[in-house]
Structure 1
């Protein structure tokens, strides 16, 4: 623009301004004088109102096309963020400064008083706008599914030829809850347990997705031993015609548990079970040597259960005969009996825990019995 041009609206002279560089857009209002320019000038472009969709159950907010966990007890910060994203500042403004002062009108309404200032055409301008933010309480997809009992997989906790112990059942549920909680902590809103029931034979855990059901089953087996199998059932088709399956993960805990005393069919003598992770491991209670089931025997060998460490009774040590034998009192008849002396037996002990079973009388490790009493 050259010197001597006049404002097309009022006829006043317009100061000379720099021409835009080649290829840059031309400001159509550049021909106006400052007075006419600022008559229609808006420093801030603000919406009349903003609606924030909030889940009344979990507190998540809806952003874009998805629900997002924010962990907020009140939504003032959320309202400030939404208003900040919605406001637009004039492109010609320089050195812009702004501030927001929220006013809580009621539980579902926050008035956002926004003050902006900056320089346009070397002139200081300031503008204040008020944007009401309405909190719309709804139910997110996740909470709706939980309320409706939705699930895609079931993890069944069972045991081989027995019922899971109370400790096993409780631990399996803890493992499931911990696994799902870890997934939730990463922001996975598809992670939830919809129901846990007791079938009488063990817990049934209904989980949101098949992938997470498989993850829970793997973690349970990894800690408690045993194995699991998958049984898919076709339930429906999705909108694209893909088959949707619900999967049952049948976890089968081992036949024996740590603390059991068993008699394998190998003529090596009874074994105190210490671990059932992978293959069964323990210690021979006749001599104290380590025992490990062979790979071909699977989770556990063919064996009969003689009792557990909880069945142990404290009895008097009469005398140590030699490195292989010790004489103790029978806890039932109080007769003196010579029995095998395992390497873990303390020769200076006045008493020792023993287990009397169909296989005879055997000394158990002191620490194993003490652990069972805890």
Structure 2
């Protein structure tokens, strides 16, 4: 049998296998051990800083989006993080009953239970939580109209970007900022969107957003972009801070345009795509057309009209495999026009475009 141990404080015997975090604690009897024992180490007060605009909570040196409007959950989480349960406690359970004192003060009535040295213990206490409202860096920048890059959406020549193109630019900017926010980047946002007679201007909080918008928009809609930097200030460390402008030039022609290529006698082309290089279909034959890599999306051509300018007219007769007769949509005279292979000769009405190049049957 092992020799009985006695408490150095009172002289009573110490139960065999007595627990304790330190050797001194393990040497104490139960009565002396519990004299100084605290099941829970609780702060006298907990302060939580919340952004008054977006509800983000400040944790250390960063802000976290929690969308807080009812701060009870935030208070419970903050108190639970601030509490420390004694390492010798087993089978610990706890509960909390929040009491809303006023808009910025919540009393957290806590109850903990556990088992220490085989003894069940219960401890109750109250921790006041004070909610302090400030403005996070993101909301401060938004309020101050902060931006680090500008995307200018323009088009080549006399054309102005279409509503579909400018709307897509808006969508891409929102998609990119939402994606960055989802990865924890709180400083990603669209500062301002301005419609101008010549196009659209997007002011963005980060140069990465501007570059990605310019890249993705030109990948989808064609064209190209370039960038330029402007020195705006110096930061607190003396480093130069630049604002970057991304100037997008969308192609002169868009899907749906009908164009007449220079130095080309094979007939007009209905533009289908300008991604990479211009692609379309010949209105005289129905054969596909694709500009060379060198020409890209900017062939030397003139615009004759658009698919939307087409008018329905009567298909009068099929002359042969290369020609049909239709009614001129203005004079109603019967005229012979090219027969593209997409034309359905069983139809009685067909869409045509009348331009300076003549009358041409459009795809249905």
TM-score, normalised on structure 1? Answer: 0.90
Equivalent in the alignment of 1:68: 64
Q: Distance in 2 between matches of 1:251 and 1:315?
A: 40
Task: Kindly report which structure 2 residues correspond to 1:269-308, keeping only aligned pairs within 5 A, or say none.
Answer: 269-308=267-306
Is the counterpart of residue 219 in structure 1 residue 216 in structure 2? Answer: yes
Aligned CA distance change for structure 1 residues 136 and 19 (closer, same or farther; 3 Å): closer
Cα deviations by residue, 1:234-257 (Å, 9 ceiling, x for unpaired)? 222334443322110111110001
Q: How far apart are the structure 1 equivalents of 2:16 and 2:56?
A: 51
Counterparts of 1:332 and 1:85 in 2: how far apart (Å)?
80
Deviation readout 1:143-178 (Å, 9 max, x if unpaired): 110110001000110000111112222222122222
- In 1, are the aligned partners of 2:18 and 2:27 still within 8 Å (CA)? no
Name the structure 2 match of 1:360. Answer: 358
The Cα of 1:25 is off from its aligned counterpart by 7.1
Cα separation, partners in 2 of 1:4 and 1:252, compared to 1, 3 Å: closer
Return the match for 2:310 from 287, 309, 312.
Answer: 312
Are 2:125 and 1:129 equivalent residues in the alignment?
yes
1:336 Cα deviation (Å)?
A: 1.1
Q: Following superposition of structure 1 onto structure 2, how do residues 5-154 of structure 1 map, counting pairs within 5 Å?
A: 5=6, 8=9, 11=10, 13-15=12-14, 17=16, 26-30=22-26, 32-154=28-150
Q: Which runs of 5+ in 2 are unaligned?
A: none
CA shift in 2, pair 1:128/1:362, >3 Å:
same
1:264 aligns with 2:270: no
Output the CA distance in 1 between the equivalents of 2:332 and 2:14: 119
Residue in 2 aligned with 1:349? 347
Distance in 2 (alpha carbons) for counterparts of 1:2 and 1:92: 24
* Cα deviation, residue 33, structure 1: 4.3
When structure 1 is superposed on structure 2, of 58-67 and 118-127 the one drifting more is: 118-127
- Is contact 1:14-1:31 (8 Å) kept? no
8 Å contact from structure 2 (residues 50, 57) kept in 1: yes
- Answer whether contact 1:2 1:17 (CA < 8 A) is retained: no
Distance 1:349 1:17 in 2: 102
Alpha-carbon offset, residue 27 of structure 1: 3.6
Decide whether the 8 Å contact of 1:158 with 1:251 is kept in 2: yes
Match of 1:372 in 2: none
Give CA deviations for 1:117-149 in whole Å, capped at 9, x if unaligned: 223333222111111111212111111101100
Asked if the contact 2:18–2:26 (Cα under 8 Å) also holds between the matched residues in 1, the reply is no
Give the number of equivalent residue pairs: 361
Note the alpha carbon deviations across 1:49-85, whole angstroms, 9 max, x for none. Answer: 1111111111111112100112344232222221111
Tell me the TM-score normalised to structure 2 length: 0.93
Whole-angstrom CA distance in 2 between matches of 1:176 and 1:150: 16
Specify the alignment match of 2:329 in structure 1: 331
- Of 204, 216, 225 in structure 2, the residue corresponding to residue 207 of structure 1 is 204
247, 251, 254: which one pairs with 1:254? 251
Q: CA RMSD for the aligned pairs?
A: 2.1
2:195 matches 1:198? yes
Unaligned runs of 5+ in 1: 367-374
Deviation digits for residues 272-317 of structure 1 (CA, Å, limit 9, x no counterpart): 1111111111001011110111111132210000111121111111
Partners of 1:182 and 1:19 in 2: CA distance: 55
C-alpha distance 53-14 of structure 1, shift in aligned 2 (>3 A): same
1:235 to 232, 236, 259: 232
- The 3-state SS of whatever aligns with 2:47 is strand
Shift of 1:43: 1.6
From 177, 181, 192, the counterpart of 1:180: 177
- Quick one: structure 1 residues 38 and 6, their matched pair in 2 at CA, closer, same or farther if it must change by over 3 Å? closer
CA distance in 1, matches of 2:248, 2:279: 20
